[in-house]
Chains A and B, each alone.
Chain A
Amino acid sequence: MRNYIAAVFDDSRKAYEALHQLWDLDGGGDITVHGTGVVHRDELGLLQVDTKETHPALGTAIGVGVGALLGALAGPAGAAVGAAGGAGIGAATGGALGMVADLDRADTRQEAADETGFVLGVGQSAVIADVSEDWTTPIDICVRKLGGKVYRRPRSDIRDDAWYSPAYPYGYYLYPYEYVPPAYAF
């Protein structure tokens, strides 16, 4: 089954350990990972996605694309915000933070909490991934061991959202391999 997942942690280093283990599961053939990204919400509530140093136009596109995917993971209410372009988030290659996302509006957060339970809290980090998995146990166990919590939305549900556009495939904004910024390298 093809799912988008968010594995949420209180510690950003644990998020990167989880990222590494997801790709290990892929290497062992237990799951297939199509793309991953790591997103943080700082103490001020600002969201940022870690990216490689790249062309500025690409950094902006990644921020908007991952923001929309975060919205979609939060459920239909979040997807609407993402599709409207309000969820553009900072693509940080060093430490710079991006825009405040409209996803943080109290009403959207409440709806997301009711619909899927996925809300990224202040100070938390999440691994966002596009995966094919025959069963959910391998990822669930790996994330639980690291003290995190997994949220899933089937790709088919996300594609059924009224706001989904095939011309804007969320997964394409995720790295199709394990990318770890130098600050988190083991």
Chain B
Amino acid sequence: MAQLATASAKSGAEAKVKDAIDNMRSAAQDLHKQIIDAAAKKSGATKADIAALTEKAKSLAKSVRASIDTQQGNVAEHLNDAIKHLEATQANLSDSLKATGAGFDTSVKKVLAEARASVQRLSEAVAERRAANSAKKS
């Protein structure tokens, strides 16, 4: 009975972790969408837009960091990489506030590249987790 309870608690925890990675991936996808939309604004993104995006990247990096302890192997590695890219996204967003002209174009490209890379790493973590679950079932 105790064993059953432990197994049930474990599978419940695994399900929550899976949901957490999926949710973090969705949040990173939203961040990427919002950065593209901000970059498309004809009069340029406002300081408030950039500050909100920076805050979102920061908060997402925090969530990813908090989930790493429950992960192992390649999943943890992908999550670590995602954190680095989210931190670089924050840094480049700050740079874009100070830049103008060609410098602004360069920082926008860097911001998007880093945001895209963070989604990619989270997506790879999701794929890794799904493959592991599928191997367990078969």
Chain A residues packing against B (C-beta within 8 Å): 2, 29, 32-35, 52-55, 57-58, 61, 132, 134, 171-172, 176-177
**Cross-interface CB contact of B126 among A32, A52, A134, A172, cutoff 8 Å:** A32
Contact call B108/A32, Cβ cutoff below 8 A: no
A sample of 4 more A-B contacts (CB under 8 A), given A34-B120, A57-B105, A58-B39, is A2-B127, A29-B130, A55-B40, A58-B36
Tell me, yes or no, whether B62 is within 8 Å of chain A by CB: no
B127 contacts which of A32, A171, A176 (Cβ < 8 Å)? A32
Residues of B20-53 contacting chain A, CB below 8 A: 28-29, 32-33, 36-37, 39-40
Q: How far is the CA of A171 from the CA of B28 in the complex (A)?
A: 16
Whether A34 lies near B33 (C-beta < 8 A) is no
B104 CB, min distance to chain A CBs, angstroms: 9
- Distance in angstroms between the alpha carbons of A167 and B108 in the assembled complex: 18
Cβ–Cβ < 8 Å partners of A29 in chain B: 130
Q: Chain B residues near A55 (CB, 8 Å)?
A: 39-40, 105, 108
Contact between chains at B108 and A134 (CB < 8 Å): no
From known contacts A176-B32, A176-B119, infer whether A58 and B112 are also in contact, taking CB-CB under 8 Å. Answer: yes
Residue of B nearest to A32 (CB): B127
